[in-house]
Structure 1
Amino acid sequence: MACANCEGLTFFLTYSIFSAVLGMLQFGYNTGVINAPEKNIENFMKDVYKDRYGEDISEEFIQQLYSVAVSIFAIGGMLGGFSGGWMANRFGRKGGLLLNNVLGISGACLMGFTKVSHSYEMLFLGRFIIGVNCGLNTSLVPMYISEIAPLNLRGGLGTVNQLAVTIGLLLSQVLGIEQILGTNDGWPVLLGLAICPAILQLMLLPVCPESPRYLLITKQWEEEARSALRRLRASSSVEEDIEEMRAEERAQQSESHISTMELICSPTLRPPLIIGIVMQLSQQFSGINAVLYYSTSLFMSSGLTEESAKFSTIGIGAIMVLMTLVSIPLMDRTGRRTLHLYGLGGMFIFSIFITISFLIKEMIDWMSYLSVVSTLGFVVFFAVGPGSIPWMITAELFSQGPRPSAMAIAVLVNWMANFVVGIGFPSMKAELENYTFLPFSVFLAIFWIFTYKKVPETKNKTFEEICALFRHGNGSDTASTHGQSESTTDIEIQSRSGGNERKEQ
């Protein structure tokens, strides 16, 4: 039976989601903001070094300092991401997001005052703190949204996470051009603007309800959960939502509040955990962050002028926003697994084209444009699937008990991979030159095969149904047996809820 009170978006649900995804906008902004002002930041570091030590800094050392500024963000992200589960259980999903803005404001202030204080260490510290803030956001925001969204809108609303990330990226790229803030005086302001999403969220989020799932299952506050649901659904008939949560709670009674070690050691939960981890790796090792962090220098090395390279980078941001918008309605129509396969397959093809364009750019003048078109195609397919699905599917694969620990592990893995790509790509580019994208092509092929073989479809399934897929498919090919498991699950859930109704009568 379809959920009568889950038909559409209500004003309050929209407001709550908008308030929460400001955290993901923060993440997108700080991922992209370091790209355009690369030369300005390097000039600042050269000046500071010369003033301190009375000698010029070597080109190699300046590159190392800059890659520290880029990748220390990911080290903070690892710490924040891994603390997300603890924070979500200790302070609640909404409470955790509110507290996290203290870090957002501190990090933004440190980065904004870097030039005034004449210290690049302050930039590193600010990037680290804003990294912790963004790591917590990547754990807390998808968790909050997946828990307040009605079942039939969960996929589309989960994609809003990625939409906010791409808008943040585009915003940082547009503001980072030379005509706006990409100047020697403007770049500290550009980095300091990260204070805006944090302040805006502090103003908007207090009005939003806490996650009803957290209130009912974790805190056992049923009346508060009902009240939160009534506000979110704009309806007083919330029994179906409550019953779905109760079914999830009953199924998880034996393993509520699962610790990270218990999660890793559990034979039932290990398959979804492995899927969650590989999905996160498929996002980061696809090569997308090499494009996002270093696209300007990538385009310049393919033969474009600096100005054209910066505008091509803005094109990347615009296409990501556009394609994420396109993927929102597709998410609940086509399904997570199908879109992820399309995304990885398309990225694989375009990564090969990028390599070809690099190889023959010396022979044919217009090849630099093929490299730009291939990079844009690569980004299009990233936005279709791997951009949003890993965040969403990790929250969907687990029920309330293990979800915080699972999100913490998945986010830690995502940020570790992010760090590896951020710090390793410049050396890889110097070593492999025109073949830079080949390792990513190999990874994409491996991730496509894994998704095809192992990842189940989670579209329109309750958390309890998804858990049952792994109970039935344990030790076998989950993706191919999930149809059979689904029917068994439905019978199991119906008989269980029917039994409970009889008990209540």
Structure 2
Amino acid sequence: MEEEIHASSLLQRRDSLPRGTMSGGVTGALLYAVFSAVLGMLQFGFNTGVINSPKEFIQNFIIANYEVDADTLFSVIVSIFAVGGIIGCPLASWIADKKGRKFALIINAAFGVVGAVLMGFSESATSVAMLIIGRFLIGINCGFATTASPTYVSEVAPVRLRGAFGTVNQLAVAFGLVGGQILGIDVIMGSDEGWPWLLGLAIIPSAVQCIMLPFVPESPRYLMFVQQDEEQTRTVLKKLRGTDDIEDEIKDMRDEEIAEKQEQKFTIGDLLRIKSLRTPLVIGIVMHLSQQLGGINAVLYYSATIFTSAGLSEYDARLASIGVGSMLFIMALVSIPLMDRLGRRTLQLCGLGGMAVFSVLMTVAFFTYENNYTMSIFAVIFTLLYVAFFGVGPSSIPWMILSEMFGQGARSAAVSVGALVNWFANFIVGLTFIYMSNALGNFVFLPYTVLLILFFIFTYLKLPETKNRTIDEVTALFKK
């Protein structure tokens, strides 16, 4: 999920930190630019969480108009979102490099508007094809956003504030997720009449972006490195920083450009062929798989179904689902200071271990809820704690770990592989969960438990700690 967020940044240059003292701070122009960009991440969170509550009503629409299996078609509607994401990630990288970060964000907002319109009018047109195509286009929009938005934000923010502004992407995802779940309750839009409006609300973030983005500046790094326009770079930096004292930043960008030109470039094929690159790539891929195949999106996409299976009423299940998004939002705040205090490896192990424990306890609760409302409540509590441990580490660490294990020359290729693996695993979970639930019943989370244990063991044996280590120090570990 989130973050997608950290590794999607095309120029996350920890090994090229500025040597000068950065001037300027938070300005109105900077806040405007960041807010305009992170609306794409809010869109990602909204469309991840919004499909959860209206499941029953969408299936009613399918049953009333089509002679097909409603579970199968709903699984396609859910999972086609991830197919769009798989396409959106590399498309964003290509357009952002060829035409600029600002242009990429504007094009992506248009995808969002079209996708939302198709979903919003699918019921009145009696067309499930419109719903599927709209969900697919929104998936492209969200996959695109997980690359383009963090890239733009990291490049317009002052280096000393880049980490803080980077977390805004993660918070926007969590906020969108909670918003989608709240709007999906019965008294708002959780009904046979309201669900098309609920899905159509995705037009708002993209439409606002279409209005705001034409007035944001282009990324200074794109202007400097790609356009080779230092004069325009200076103009943009002065506007964003609110000061004319930008010489240190210009000098550091020049030095960074020289270092990048001297850095050997590696392709995806090189990553697979060269052992010192293949080992960290495998570690990064497993980290991304652990994020998705640990079952988190089964909870995000189907928590209302899970809570109903645990004995709650449809209404209470939708209310409880709001707690899932709220827990992710809280843990996004909690994990920020822990990341550099406890380290990536420790948090990843704690997260995977906690998820494994609470997936077992969720299974126990599913077996004992009948005629026992207390165990139904515990099923909700265990699910929320499962989500909380996901938020401790696995929600964000897979996205940042690849950028911390590769030098500049190999980073872009490694990050692209990780993003594609993540979205593909997301697709598999979204497509298969209903079938797994029907086949395994109360044991539905045990396959995820087994995978979480295997991921924990792999992480313990293979993942190095990258906290307080330079890129050179980390890459040296894999050359031994």
Task: Identify unmatched segments of 5+ residues in structure 1.
Answer: 50-56, 477-505
- Maintained 8 Å contact 1:5/1:233: no
1:414-468 CA distance string (max 9 Å, x none):
110000000111122222222222222232233334444444555577xxx42x2
Aligned to 1:82: 90
In structure 1, what residue type is equivalent to 2:185?
I
Change (3 A) 1:378 1:241: farther
Determine helix, strand or coil for the equivalent of 2:185. coil
Cα separation, 1, equivalents of 2:245 and 2:464: 32
CA drift at 1:299: 0.6
Aligned to 1:429: 437
Cα separation, 2, equivalents of 1:450 and 1:247: 38
Higher mean C-alpha displacement, 136-145 vs 204-213: 204-213
- After superposition, residues 45-56 of structure 1 pair within 5 angstroms as 45-49=62-66
In the alignment, does 2:112 pair up with 1:95?
A: no
- After superposition, residues 46-445 of structure 1 pair within 5 angstroms as 46-49=63-66, 57=67, 61-254=69-262, 259-262=267-270, 264-265=272-273, 269-362=277-370, 364-395=372-403, 397=405, 402-445=410-453
Aligned to 2:43: 26
1:220-258 CA distance string (max 9 Å, x none):
333333443333333434344444444443343245775
Determine helix, strand or coil for the equivalent of 1:421. helix
Aligned to 2:478: 474
Change (3 A) 1:206 1:458: farther
Cα separation, 2, equivalents of 1:147 and 1:131: 24
Higher mean C-alpha displacement, 440-449 vs 333-342: 333-342
User: How many matched pairs?
Assistant: 463
In structure 2, what residue type is equivalent to 1:29?
F
- Maintained 8 Å contact 1:175/1:181: yes
CA drift at 1:26: 0.7
Cα separation, 2, equivalents of 1:244 and 1:353: 52
Q: TM-score under structure 1 normalisation?
A: 0.83
Cα separation, 1, equivalents of 2:313 and 2:368: 18
- Maintained 8 Å contact 1:75/1:419: yes
CA drift at 1:303: 1.2
Greater RCO, CA 8 A, separation 6+: 2
CA drift at 1:393: 3.9
Larger radius of gyration: 1
Higher mean C-alpha displacement, 20-29 vs 88-97: 88-97
- Maintained 8 Å contact 1:156/1:329: no
CA RMSD in angstroms comes to 2.7
CA drift at 1:74: 1.0
Cα separation, 2, equivalents of 1:211 and 1:460: 28
Change (3 A) 1:141 1:313: same
Q: TM-score under structure 2 normalisation?
A: 0.87
Change (3 A) 1:447 1:228: farther
Aligned to 1:15: 32
Change (3 A) 1:88 1:341: farther
In structure 2, what residue type is equivalent to 1:206?
P
Cα separation, 1, equivalents of 2:451 and 2:155: 32
Cα separation, 1, equivalents of 2:283 and 2:232: 34
CA drift at 1:291: 0.2
Cα separation, 2, equivalents of 1:137 and 1:150: 21
Cα separation, 2, equivalents of 1:437 and 1:27: 25
Change (3 A) 1:403 1:20: farther
CA drift at 1:184: 1.3
Change (3 A) 1:451 1:179: same
Task: Identify unmatched segments of 5+ residues in structure 2.
Answer: 1-17
1:390-424 CA distance string (max 9 Å, x none):
33444555566555444332221111000000011
In structure 2, what residue type is equivalent to 1:36?
S
In structure 2, what residue type is equivalent to 1:443?
L
Cα separation, 1, equivalents of 2:243 and 2:283: 36
Aligned to 2:3: none
- Maintained 8 Å contact 2:22/2:160: no
In the alignment, does 2:60 pair up with 1:43?
A: yes
